[in-house]
Amino acid sequence: MIFPVRLRNSRKLRIVTFAFSALLFGGLSPLAARAQFLHPKITSKEVTVRKIVILPAKVDVVRDSMKGPEGMAAESEELSGRVERAVAGVLGDQKHINTLSAPASSPASADAQGKYTVADIQTKFDELLAKVMKKRKDVKKGRFSMGDEVLNLNVDKTADAIVFIRGRGQKLTSGKKTFVMLVGGMPAYLIMQIGIVDAHTGDLLVYTDPVFAGDPTTAVDRLRKALEKGFKKLPAISQ
């Protein structure tokens, strides 16, 4: 027996059942933005993000089969580019934010020092991200910053913010799909972690982690919708 007898057919039961169903539906919904946190400078409109530079995204997916996960290096590379473009598209269309070209966007031609600088800043973000994940709510307190070392990237002087994108996901083989349906387990998904950092001070202005269920290598619409949800709280700039 799940509920006590006295609750049966009562209003309380209906409320509890509704709440439970809503939770279940929410959890299994193919589109869900898990959290969005804004720095007080954004909420108080002390800082407005009008122009951004997106650093190369690092999105990795694996193919999960019955024999375990297999790498998808080429697909991950392609997906990284797609997520980068989707973020630029969503921020442009919904929030009217312009995306400027990134430093050393063609790493093959970039000099070693420039490549190291980008790599080191990306690493610094990864280190900060680990701390952010421990207490994401503290973004609202303005606790996290990468410091003014971000200036070493020498991005376009008009840029207000730098966007860092991380992601991981998995697609399932048909065998694994059947297994998941019968026995349970993680479905195909993509989870992204996106940080928007002040290009002058290094403060983490926005943190969001959109997620969607579905094959990350093909679900283009779901990716866009998840990103739209993910940036919902970010105020749009007036044109």
Partner 1 sequence: MSSLSILKRGRSLIIRLFCVSLLTSVCGVGPKGTATAALLRQDQTQTTIKPQSPANEEFKFEKVDLELLEQVNLLDRRFEREGLVLDDQATVAYLNRVGKSLLPRGLKLENVSWNFRALRDPQPNAFALPNGSIYVSTGLLALMDNESQLAAILAHELTHVLRRHSYLQNRSNRKKFLTMNIIAAVGAYAPGGVAGAVITIATAVAPFIVIATMYGYSRDLEREADLKGIDMMLAAEYPPEEMVNVMRLLNKDIEGENIRFFYNDHPALDERIKYLSSYLGARADVVTPQMELNREKAAYFRKMEPAMRHDIQLSINGGRFRSAVFLADRLVDFYPDSENLFWLAEAYRTLGPRTEQLAEKELTNSAKKDAAKKREKRTVEEEERELLATPAGQENWKLHEKKAEELYLQATTRENPVAVAHRGLGMLYEKLGRSNEAVTEYQKYLELAPAALDRERIQKHVEALRRTP
* Spatial distance between the Cα atoms of 74 and 60, rounded to a whole number of angstroms: 10
Please select the residue that binds partner 1; options are 131, 137, 141, 232, rule is CB under 8 A: 131
Distance (Å, whole) CA 208 – CA 231: 7
Return the number of the residue (41 or 200) whose C-beta is nearest partner 1.
200
Site for partner 1 contains 105 (CB under 8 A): no
On whether the CB atoms of residues 172 and 180 are closer than 8 A, the answer is yes
**Cα atoms in the 13 Å half-sphere on the side-chain side of 11:** 0
When binding is defined by CB under 8 A, the residue of 140, 177, 200, 233 that contacts partner 1 is: 200
Residue 134 beta carbon to partner 1: minimum distance, rounded to whole angstroms = 5
Which of 14, 69, 141, 175: binder of partner 1 (CB under 8 A)?
69
Distance (Å, whole) CA 236 – CA 239: 9
Q: Does 175 bind partner 1 (CB under 8 A)?
A: no
Task: Answer for the pair 36, 233: CB distance below 8 angstroms, yes or no.
Answer: yes
Nearer of residues 3 and 116 to partner 1, judged by Cβ: 116
Taking the least distance from each CB to partner 1, the nearer of 140 and 200 is 200
- Cα–Cα dist 1/70, whole Å: 43
Interacting residue with partner 1 among 67, 184, 238, 239 (CB under 8 A): 67
User: Which is closer to partner 1, CB of 128 or CB of 213?
Assistant: 128
Task: Name which position in 14, 21, 48, 70 contacts partner 1 (CB under 8 A).
Answer: 70
Specify the amino acid at residue 149.
E
What sign does the CA torsion over 221, 227, 230, 235 have? negative
Please tell me whether residue 178 binds partner 1 under the rule CB under 8 A: no
Q: Checking phi first, is residue 201 left (phi over 0); if not, alpha (psi -120 to 50) or beta?
A: alpha
| Sole window of 14-22, 35-43, 67-75, 84-92 interacting with partner 1 (rule: CB under 8 A) | 67-75
User: What's the DSSP call for residue 97?
Assistant: P
113 lies in the binding site for partner 1 (CB under 8 A): yes
138: tokens are 């503290």
Q: Which of 20, 23, 28, 107 contacts partner 1 by CB under 8 A?
A: 107
Task: Please name which of 217, 236, 239 lies closest in space to residue 82, comparing C-alpha atoms.
Answer: 217
11 makes contact with partner 1 (CB under 8 A)? no
User: Which residues bind to partner 1, rule: CB under 8 A?
Assistant: 56, 58, 60-62, 64, 67-74, 76-77, 107-108, 112-120, 122-124, 126-128, 130-131, 134-135, 143-145, 148-149, 151-152, 154, 168, 200
